[in-house]
Protein backbone atom coordinates (compact mmCIF):
# COMPACT_ATOMS: atom_id res chain seq x y z
CA UNK A 1 0.00 0.00 0.00
CA UNK A 2 2.67 2.53 1.04
CA UNK A 3 4.97 1.37 -1.74
CA UNK A 4 2.04 1.71 -4.16
CA UNK A 5 1.45 5.25 -2.93
CA UNK A 6 5.08 6.09 -3.46
CA UNK A 7 4.98 4.74 -7.02
CA UNK A 8 1.84 6.72 -7.70
CA UNK A 9 3.47 9.85 -6.31
CA UNK A 10 6.65 9.48 -8.35
CA UNK A 11 4.68 8.66 -11.50
CA UNK A 12 2.42 11.70 -11.09
CA UNK A 13 5.41 14.02 -10.60
CA UNK A 14 7.24 12.53 -13.61
CA UNK A 15 4.21 12.77 -15.92
CA UNK A 16 3.57 16.30 -14.75
CA UNK A 17 7.16 17.14 -15.58
CA UNK A 18 6.97 15.61 -19.07
CA UNK A 19 3.71 17.45 -19.88
CA UNK A 20 4.98 20.78 -18.57
CA UNK A 21 8.29 20.35 -20.37
CA UNK A 22 6.55 19.62 -23.67
CA UNK A 23 4.31 22.66 -23.39
CA UNK A 24 7.16 24.89 -22.27
CA UNK A 25 9.14 23.85 -25.34
CA UNK A 26 6.15 24.78 -27.50
CA UNK A 27 6.03 28.18 -25.81
CA UNK A 28 9.77 28.76 -26.17
CA UNK A 29 9.66 27.88 -29.87
CA UNK A 30 6.71 30.29 -30.28
CA UNK A 31 4.26 27.61 -31.38
CA UNK A 32 1.56 29.33 -29.36
CA UNK A 33 -1.45 28.28 -31.44
CA UNK A 34 -0.50 24.65 -31.09
CA UNK A 35 0.31 25.24 -27.41
CA UNK A 36 -3.15 26.67 -26.76
CA UNK A 37 -4.78 23.67 -28.41
CA UNK A 38 -2.67 21.21 -26.39
CA UNK A 39 -3.33 23.23 -23.26
CA UNK A 40 -7.13 23.08 -23.51
CA UNK A 41 -6.93 19.37 -24.19
CA UNK A 42 -4.66 18.59 -21.23
CA UNK A 43 -6.03 21.04 -18.67
CA UNK A 44 -7.99 18.44 -16.71
CA UNK A 45 -5.09 15.97 -16.86
CA UNK A 46 -2.71 18.60 -15.43
CA UNK A 47 -5.03 19.35 -12.56
CA UNK A 48 -5.56 15.65 -11.80
CA UNK A 49 -1.80 14.97 -11.93
CA UNK A 50 -1.02 17.98 -9.77
CA UNK A 51 -3.61 17.02 -7.17
CA UNK A 52 -2.48 13.38 -7.21
CA UNK A 53 1.15 14.41 -6.69
CA UNK A 54 0.31 16.76 -3.80
CA UNK A 55 -2.24 14.50 -2.08
CA UNK A 56 -0.07 11.36 -2.26
CA UNK A 57 2.77 13.59 -1.03
CA UNK A 58 0.75 14.56 2.03
CA UNK A 59 -0.19 10.93 2.59
CA UNK A 60 3.49 9.88 2.49
CA UNK A 61 4.26 12.74 4.85
CA UNK A 62 1.65 11.48 7.32
CA UNK A 63 3.49 8.13 7.53
CA UNK A 64 6.66 9.70 8.86
CA UNK A 65 7.15 9.70 12.58
CA UNK A 66 10.01 12.19 12.45
CA UNK A 67 9.99 15.61 10.85
CA UNK A 68 11.75 15.36 7.50
CA UNK A 69 12.37 18.74 5.98
CA UNK A 70 12.91 17.48 2.43
CA UNK A 71 9.32 16.26 2.24
CA UNK A 72 7.91 19.64 3.21
CA UNK A 73 10.22 21.43 0.77
CA UNK A 74 8.99 19.11 -1.97
CA UNK A 75 5.31 19.51 -1.34
CA UNK A 76 5.37 23.28 -0.88
CA UNK A 77 7.41 23.76 -4.06
CA UNK A 78 5.11 21.46 -5.98
CA UNK A 79 2.10 23.42 -4.77
CA UNK A 80 3.78 26.56 -6.09
CA UNK A 81 5.10 25.06 -9.33
CA UNK A 82 1.84 23.68 -10.72
CA UNK A 83 -0.21 26.91 -10.64
CA UNK A 84 2.84 28.88 -11.80
CA UNK A 85 3.17 26.61 -14.82
CA UNK A 86 -0.53 26.75 -15.61
CA UNK A 87 -0.60 30.55 -15.46
CA UNK A 88 2.71 30.89 -17.34
CA UNK A 89 1.55 28.70 -20.20
CA UNK A 90 -1.87 30.32 -20.36
CA UNK A 91 -0.51 33.87 -20.52
CA UNK A 92 2.47 32.82 -22.68
CA UNK A 93 4.96 34.01 -20.07
CA UNK A 94 8.20 32.18 -20.82
CA UNK A 95 10.04 32.91 -17.55
CA UNK A 96 7.12 31.62 -15.47
CA UNK A 97 6.87 28.42 -17.50
CA UNK A 98 10.64 27.83 -17.24
CA UNK A 99 10.56 28.51 -13.51
CA UNK A 100 7.77 25.99 -13.08
CA UNK A 101 9.67 23.27 -14.98
CA UNK A 102 12.83 23.97 -12.98
CA UNK A 103 10.89 23.73 -9.73
CA UNK A 104 9.40 20.38 -10.73
CA UNK A 105 12.83 19.06 -11.76
CA UNK A 106 14.16 20.19 -8.38
CA UNK A 107 11.24 18.51 -6.57
CA UNK A 108 11.96 15.29 -8.43
CA UNK A 109 15.65 15.49 -7.50
CA UNK A 110 14.81 16.17 -3.87
CA UNK A 111 12.55 13.11 -3.84
CA UNK A 112 15.20 10.91 -5.39
CA UNK A 113 18.02 11.97 -3.08
CA UNK A 114 15.77 12.44 -0.03
CA UNK A 115 17.54 15.67 0.76
CA UNK A 116 16.72 19.23 -0.17
CA UNK A 117 20.44 19.80 -0.66
CA UNK A 118 20.79 16.73 -2.89
CA UNK A 119 23.13 15.06 -0.42
CA UNK A 120 22.50 11.37 -0.06
CA UNK A 121 23.39 9.43 3.09
CA UNK A 122 25.28 12.13 4.99
CA UNK A 123 26.09 9.68 7.82
CA UNK A 124 28.49 7.48 5.86
CA UNK A 125 31.95 7.41 7.39
CA UNK A 126 34.60 4.74 7.67
CA UNK A 127 33.56 3.85 11.21
CA UNK A 128 29.85 3.81 10.47
CA UNK A 129 30.53 1.41 7.58
CA UNK A 130 32.29 -0.93 9.94
CA UNK A 131 29.55 -0.69 12.57
CA UNK A 132 26.81 -1.22 9.97
CA UNK A 133 28.46 -4.39 8.66
CA UNK A 134 28.89 -5.74 12.20
CA UNK A 135 25.30 -5.10 13.22
CA UNK A 136 24.05 -6.63 10.01
CA UNK A 137 26.26 -9.67 10.63
CA UNK A 138 24.99 -10.09 14.18
CA UNK A 139 21.27 -9.41 13.78
CA UNK A 140 20.21 -9.73 10.17
CA UNK A 141 22.39 -12.30 8.38
CA UNK A 142 20.49 -15.35 9.65
CA UNK A 143 17.46 -14.42 7.53
CA UNK A 144 18.72 -12.02 4.89
CA UNK A 145 22.14 -13.62 4.24
CA UNK A 146 25.54 -12.02 3.62
CA UNK A 147 24.43 -10.72 0.25
CA UNK A 148 20.88 -9.75 1.27
CA UNK A 149 19.30 -12.44 -0.89
CA UNK A 150 19.00 -15.44 1.44
CA UNK A 151 15.26 -15.18 1.99
CA UNK A 152 14.73 -17.26 5.16
CA UNK A 153 11.04 -16.98 6.25
CA UNK A 154 10.36 -15.53 2.78
CA UNK A 155 12.42 -12.45 3.66
CA UNK A 156 12.51 -10.23 0.56
CA UNK A 157 15.70 -9.73 -1.41
CA UNK A 158 17.19 -6.60 0.16
CA UNK A 159 19.24 -5.82 -2.94
CA UNK A 160 16.06 -5.16 -4.92
CA UNK A 161 14.00 -3.53 -2.17
CA UNK A 162 11.84 -0.66 -3.39
CA UNK A 163 11.80 0.97 0.02
CA UNK A 164 13.40 4.33 0.55
CA UNK A 165 15.59 5.15 3.55
CA UNK A 166 12.72 6.35 5.74
CA UNK A 167 10.52 3.36 4.95
CA UNK A 168 13.36 0.98 5.75
CA UNK A 169 13.93 2.72 9.08
CA UNK A 170 10.29 2.29 9.93
CA UNK A 171 10.28 -1.38 8.93
CA UNK A 172 13.44 -2.24 10.88
CA UNK A 173 12.22 -0.43 13.99
CA UNK A 174 8.68 -1.86 13.92
CA UNK A 175 9.34 -5.24 12.29
CA UNK A 176 6.74 -7.14 10.31
CA UNK A 177 5.66 -10.77 10.08
CA UNK A 178 8.56 -13.07 10.91
CA UNK A 179 10.93 -10.15 11.46
CA UNK A 180 10.83 -8.61 14.90
CA UNK A 181 11.23 -4.89 15.49
CA UNK A 182 14.62 -3.60 16.62
CA UNK A 183 13.53 -0.36 18.23
CA UNK A 184 14.82 -1.35 21.65
CA UNK A 185 18.12 -2.64 20.30
CA UNK A 186 19.37 -0.11 17.79
CA UNK A 187 20.30 3.54 18.36
CA UNK A 188 19.61 6.07 15.60
CA UNK A 189 23.27 5.92 14.55
CA UNK A 190 23.27 2.13 14.46
CA UNK A 191 20.07 2.12 12.44
CA UNK A 192 21.55 4.55 9.90
CA UNK A 193 24.71 2.47 9.76
CA UNK A 194 22.90 -0.80 9.09
CA UNK A 195 20.76 0.83 6.38
CA UNK A 196 23.91 2.18 4.78
CA UNK A 197 25.25 -1.36 4.83
CA UNK A 198 22.09 -2.59 3.06
CA UNK A 199 22.58 0.15 0.47
CA UNK A 200 26.10 -1.10 -0.21
CA UNK A 201 24.64 -4.54 -1.03
CA UNK A 202 22.40 -3.05 -3.69
C1 LIG B 1 13.90 -13.82 11.60
C2 LIG B 1 14.31 -13.44 10.27
C3 LIG B 1 14.71 -11.99 10.04
C4 LIG B 1 15.69 -11.27 10.67
C5 LIG B 1 16.60 -11.72 11.80
C6 LIG B 1 15.70 -9.97 10.05
N7 LIG B 1 14.76 -9.91 9.07
FE8 LIG B 1 14.35 -8.32 7.86
N9 LIG B 1 12.78 -9.31 7.09
C10 LIG B 1 12.39 -10.60 7.38
C11 LIG B 1 11.13 -10.90 6.73
C12 LIG B 1 10.36 -12.21 6.79
C13 LIG B 1 10.74 -9.72 6.05
C14 LIG B 1 9.45 -9.49 5.25
C15 LIG B 1 8.43 -8.89 6.19
C16 LIG B 1 7.10 -8.66 5.49
O17 LIG B 1 7.04 -7.74 4.67
O18 LIG B 1 6.18 -9.41 5.77
C19 LIG B 1 11.82 -8.76 6.27
C20 LIG B 1 11.85 -7.50 5.73
C21 LIG B 1 12.88 -6.61 5.85
C22 LIG B 1 12.98 -5.36 5.16
C23 LIG B 1 11.99 -4.81 4.17
C24 LIG B 1 12.40 -5.18 2.77
C25 LIG B 1 11.32 -4.90 1.75
O26 LIG B 1 11.67 -4.41 0.66
O27 LIG B 1 10.15 -5.19 2.02
C28 LIG B 1 14.14 -4.78 5.55
C29 LIG B 1 14.70 -3.45 5.09
C30 LIG B 1 14.77 -5.65 6.51
N31 LIG B 1 13.98 -6.76 6.65
C32 LIG B 1 15.96 -5.39 7.15
C33 LIG B 1 16.43 -6.15 8.21
C34 LIG B 1 17.53 -5.76 9.06
C35 LIG B 1 18.34 -4.49 8.89
C36 LIG B 1 17.68 -6.74 9.97
C37 LIG B 1 18.68 -6.77 11.10
C38 LIG B 1 18.70 -5.65 12.00
C39 LIG B 1 16.69 -7.76 9.69
N40 LIG B 1 15.96 -7.36 8.63
C41 LIG B 1 16.56 -8.93 10.39
C42 LIG B 1 13.10 -11.49 8.17
C43 LIG B 1 14.12 -11.13 9.03
162: CA distance to ligand 1 center in Å? Answer: 13
Pocket lining for ligand 1, CB < 6 angstroms: 139-140, 142-144, 152-156, 158, 161, 163, 168, 171-172, 176-179, 182, 194
Of 15 and 65, which is predicted with more confidence? 15
Using CA of residue 19, residue 20, residue 25, residue 30, what is the dihedral sign?
Answer: positive
Query: Quick check: 1 pLDDT over 60?
Result: no
Give the integer Cα–Cα distance in Å for 202 and 191. Answer: 17
Give the integer Cα–Cα distance in Å for 71 and 63. Answer: 11
Give the integer Cα–Cα distance in Å for 170 and 110. Answer: 20
Mean pLDDT is highest, among 22-26, 51-55, 118-122, for 22-26
Query: Quick check: 123 pLDDT over 60?
Result: no
Task: With CA atoms as reference, report the closest residue to 89 among 26, 13, 15, 18.
Answer: 26
Residue positions counted in the chain = 202
Of 45 and 121, which is predicted with more confidence? 45
Nearest CA to ligand 1 atom 19: 155
Residue 119: the pLDDT is 59
Of 67 and 85, which is predicted with more confidence? 85
130: CA distance to ligand 1 center in Å? Answer: 20
Task: With CA atoms as reference, report the closest residue to 69 among 113, 29, 36.
Answer: 113
Cβ atoms 104, 110 nearer than 8 A: no
Residue 122: the pLDDT is 41
Cβ neighbourhood burial of 93 (10 Å; 0-12, 13-18, 19+): middle
Residue 121: the pLDDT is 45
Over residues 92-100, the mean pLDDT reads 94
Amino acid sequence: MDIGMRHMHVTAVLLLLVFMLFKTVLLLTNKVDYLDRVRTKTKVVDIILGLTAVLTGFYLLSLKSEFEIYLWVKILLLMAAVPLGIVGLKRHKKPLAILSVLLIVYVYGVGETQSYKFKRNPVVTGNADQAGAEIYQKLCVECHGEDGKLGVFKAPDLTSSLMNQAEMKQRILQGKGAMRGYKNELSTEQLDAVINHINTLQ
